[in-house]
Amino acid sequence: MKVTSYKLQVTSGKIQEARYILYFVSCILLLASCILFFPSDALAIKKTREEIEASKRCVLCHNQISPGVVNDWEKSNHAKASVTCIDCHQADSTDADARKHEGEVISAIVSPKDCSRCHPKQVMEFNESLHSKALSFIQNLEGERAGDDALAYKVEGKAAAVMGCEKCHGTVIKVKNGILDKETWPNNGIGRINPDGSKGSCSACHTRHLFSIAEARTPDICGTCHMGPDHPQYEIYMESKHGVIYNSERQKWNMDVASSSWDTKYFRAPTCATCHMSGIGELEPTHNISDRLSWELEWPQSEKTNDWKGKRDKMQRACLSCHSKTHVEGYYQQFDNAVTLYNDEYYKPIKKDMDELYKLGYLTKDKFDEEIEFEFFEYWHHEGRRARMGASMMGPDYAQWHGFYELAKRRLKLKNMIREIMEKKGKGK
Ligand code: HEC
Ligand code: HEC
Ligand code: HEC
Ligand code: HEC
Ligand code: HEC
Ligand code: HEC
Ligand code: HEC
Ligand code: HEC
């Protein structure tokens, strides 16, 4: 008996000791985790007394001048984290767009470079994506891809391109005497070139001044640019099963969850962001929307992207949170077949004939000065893209009736036009 009780004492003494050690260790751990996990974002927003006073002035006065701005900001997570007007709008007096304003130096534009002070990861990933290059890309394009900004100026007129192409793709924002040039701003195109040289606009998806994560997850925000006859991703999504589920249940989904814990318990079907950006299952979230694509579907003739297998694997991992491997692999096989059918049976033969017309001098080198050039453009740029994109994103109506059916019809028309030109011009020679 004695022995046992002694043992018991010793044990309880040890338990006591272990408890003290545990308390000590957990205190250290708590302290360490406070230091380690204290959001680095919040660390970056220390302000001087003057800055705090100035911020109050911005808010008070702008509450009268532009209450909409202040309302939005007050509801944002930025306001909750004490990120104020001055943290974003403060500028260096040497910045091209810096201006004196109520005793402070500010600029109206808050570029990705400004956001990168606190969100370096998102900005880095955005910079790696095709979104950040959306303007430089159309400026440099020549020839048959027909995406040249200058070409649009020539064919449609500059004012048309400013209100069209450049609202989605971006423009070079110019500054005159510290004031933003009215010909170039406002513009929130996805690849605009900012006065500080940085590319893009974060408010293309996180509108000011709410900067909400929930809004960026809706298909509607992507749909401001990704819609219409030439890239109807929005319409395709809305008619897919995924879009139908989203529409019938969106009110019940919590779209506000931080990236780190956003997962299938909060939604039953993916939105654009889920497949192209979110962290879902084992996938890491990313602002590089090019990172999960195995095909270039926007090109006249589709080709695989660099490292396409790795990219495809990432997208498929998103599907696998909700579908089986057989389902996903089967779907990709059907999708690949549709892209190959378009390339081989629709694009290549007509392209060969068009090249022949240019080579023989039956068509001028200028673009869009002959009817057949508009026909051929719509063939790949509208119908050809619709067929491929309908196939990639579960929209059978776009794959079929807005896609391959229209392609088949216009292929016949183009063949007839080509034959007529050959006959007419051939006789003249
Ligand atoms: C005493 C009033 C007042 C204070 C204080 C004030 N503003 Fe303004 N702000 C204005 C007025 C007036 C305008 C011009 C409104 C307009 O153009 O419609 C303006 C315009 C702006 C613009 C748009 C500039 C442009 O080029 O379009 C920004 C950005 C801005 N303020 C930010 C700030 C910030 C940041 C602070 C604090 C450092 C601040 N304001 C403090 C009154 C004020
Ligand atoms: C998280 C960063 C951020 C914060 C905080 C912020 N802004 Fe802005 N603000 C922006 C961005 C981004 C734009 C859009 C300008 C652009 O890049 O085209 C903008 C635009 C503006 C404009 C011009 C808007 C228009 O439509 O004419 C005003 C005025 C302005 N901000 C005032 C304020 C005031 C006042 C506060 C504080 C209540 C504030 N901002 C807080 C980022 C911020
Ligand atoms: C001075 C630091 C700072 C700057 C500059 C800043 N942010 Fe933030 N941002 C924060 C903090 C802090 C949070 C809150 C983090 C949290 O709630 O976990 C945040 C949160 C966000 C969120 C998530 C909001 C949500 O609904 O959960 C978005 C989106 C965002 N910022 C975008 C931007 C953009 C775009 C810019 C530039 C126009 C910008 N931020 C500039 C510090 C900053
Ligand atoms: C302000 C306009 C705009 C918005 C908003 C927008 N995009 Fe884009 N997106 C573009 C443009 C323009 C391109 C084409 C860029 C290029 O090829 O030069 C593009 C290209 C893409 C691509 C193809 C990238 C590649 O490498 O081929 C994907 C995927 C994409 N966007 C997804 C999205 C998603 C998802 C959203 C919403 C969360 C979204 N975009 C919001 C304008 C936008
Ligand atoms: C409604 C928004 C919008 C307008 C307006 C718009 N685009 Fe685009 N553009 C896009 C989107 C979105 C894509 C990406 C399509 C995709 O990846 O499937 C794109 C793709 C492109 C591409 C292909 C880039 C690549 O990666 O191969 C070119 C070139 C282009 N656009 C040029 C233009 C020109 C020139 C104009 C004006 C005549 C214009 N766009 C008007 C949104 C727009
Ligand atoms: C194409 C649309 C799009 C653009 C452009 C965009 N974002 Fe986002 N952003 C999103 C989406 C979607 C999410 C939510 C991703 C998810 O589901 O986890 C997000 C989330 C965020 C978050 C919250 C991350 C977290 O951990 O909760 C921050 C911060 C942020 N974005 C900053 C930025 C900054 C800075 C820029 C400009 C470089 C930017 N975003 C541009 C769509 C966009
Ligand atoms: C179920 C997942 C899913 C959803 C939801 C989804 N996409 Fe996609 N998207 C894909 C797949 C898969 C591809 C083809 C990927 C490949 O090439 O391997 C693709 C391709 C694209 C492309 C590239 C076209 C190109 O030029 O190469 C764009 C742009 C795009 N999606 C935008 C969107 C937009 C905008 C939405 C919402 C309106 C959306 N996606 C919704 C899975 C999705
Ligand atoms: C968040 C869960 C989720 C994700 C992620 C997701 N899906 Fe779905 N998907 C669903 C649900 C739910 C349905 C409706 C199933 C039904 O019809 O009963 C569906 C339907 C479909 C359908 C049409 C119905 C069928 O079985 O033929 C296809 C095809 C499809 N998904 C493919 C994909 C592919 C490919 C991806 C990845 C690129 C993907 N899905 C990502 C949930 C998801």
Q: Exposed (0-12), middle (13-18) or buried (19+): which is 7, by Cβ within 10 Å?
A: exposed
In angstroms, rounded to a whole number, what is the distance separating the alpha carbons of residues 149 and 344? 29
Best probe residue, ligand 6, of 78, 113, 122 (max atoms within 8 Å of C-beta):
122
pLDDT at 385 over 90: yes
**Which residues make Cβ contacts (< 8 Å) with residue 182, sequence separation at least 6?**
none
In angstroms, rounded to a whole number, what is the distance separating the alpha carbons of residues 405 and 407? 5
Nearest-atom number in ligand 7 for the CA of 299 is 26
In angstroms, rounded to a whole number, what is the distance separating the alpha carbons of residues 341 and 128? 31
Ligand nearest to the CA of 176: 1
Predicted pLDDT at 146 = 39
Tokens of residue 343, six digits: 């390339």
pLDDT at 69 over 90: yes
pLDDT average, residue stretch 203-213: 98
pLDDT at 147 over 80: no
- Closest by Cα among 307, 277, 285 to 294: 307
In angstroms, rounded to a whole number, what is the distance separating the alpha carbons of residues 402 and 287? 30
Q: Exposed (0-12), middle (13-18) or buried (19+): which is 190, by Cβ within 10 Å?
A: buried
Comparing 41-55, 260-274, 314-328, 337-351, the range with the smallest average pLDDT is 41-55
pLDDT average, residue stretch 139-149: 47
Tokens of residue 169, six digits: 């793709």
In angstroms, rounded to a whole number, what is the distance separating the alpha carbons of residues 10 and 307? 63
Tokens 């453009």 label which residue? Answer: 377
**Which residues make Cβ contacts (< 8 Å) with residue 148, sequence separation at least 6?**
138, 139, 141, 142
pLDDT at 183 over 80: yes
In this structure, the number of other CB atoms found within 10 A of the CB of residue 115 comes to 20
In angstroms, rounded to a whole number, what is the distance separating the alpha carbons of residues 369 and 383? 21
- The amino acid that residue 278 corresponds to is S
pLDDT at 31 over 80: no
- The amino acid that residue 362 corresponds to is Y
Q: Exposed (0-12), middle (13-18) or buried (19+): which is 110, by Cβ within 10 Å?
A: buried
| 165 CA → ligand 5 middle, Å | 7
In angstroms, rounded to a whole number, what is the distance separating the alpha carbons of residues 183 and 293? 35
* 144, 230, 290, 299, 383 from 374: Cα distances, Å: 12, 13, 29, 16, 13
Predicted pLDDT at 148 = 56
Predicted pLDDT at 272 = 98
Band of residue 43 on the pLDDT scale cut at 50, 70, 90: very low
Nearest-atom number in ligand 3 for the CA of 216 is 29
| 239 CA → ligand 8 middle, Å | 13
Tokens of residue 200, six digits: 């893009």
pLDDT at 335 over 50: yes
* 34, 36, 40, 236 from 30: Cα distances, Å: 6, 10, 17, 49
pLDDT at 81 over 90: yes
Band of residue 139 on the pLDDT scale cut at 50, 70, 90: low
Q: Is the CB of 62 under 6 A from ligand 2?
A: yes
pLDDT at 336 over 80: yes
In angstroms, rounded to a whole number, what is the distance separating the alpha carbons of residues 319 and 331? 11
pLDDT at 402 over 90: yes
Predicted pLDDT at 262 = 93
Report which protein residue has its CA nearest ligand 2's atom 28: 108
Q: Exposed (0-12), middle (13-18) or buried (19+): which is 25, by Cβ within 10 Å?
A: exposed
Cβ distance 245 to 269 under 8 Å? yes
Report which protein residue has its CA nearest ligand 6's atom 17: 278
Nearest-atom number in ligand 3 for the CA of 87 is 1
Predicted pLDDT at 8 = 37
Predicted pLDDT at 7 = 38
Cβ distance 170 to 149 under 8 Å? no
Band of residue 155 on the pLDDT scale cut at 50, 70, 90: confident
**Which residues make Cβ contacts (< 8 Å) with residue 47, sequence separation at least 6?**
55, 82, 84, 86, 87
Report which protein residue has its CA nearest ligand 3's atom 6: 115
| 288 CA → ligand 6 middle, Å | 10
Cβ distance 390 to 236 under 8 Å? yes
Tokens 């059916």 label which residue? Answer: 405
pLDDT above 90 as % of the chain? 77
pLDDT average, residue stretch 128-148: 67
Region for residue 395 given its phi and psi (left: phi exceeds 0; alpha: psi -120 to 50; beta: otherwise) = beta
In angstroms, rounded to a whole number, what is the distance separating the alpha carbons of residues 403 and 396? 9
Q: Is the CB of 242 under 6 A from ligand 8?
A: yes
pLDDT at 254 over 80: yes
Task: Write out pLDDT tens, residues 213-235.
Answer: 999 999 999 999 999 999 999 99
Q: Is the CB of 81 under 6 A from ligand 3?
A: yes
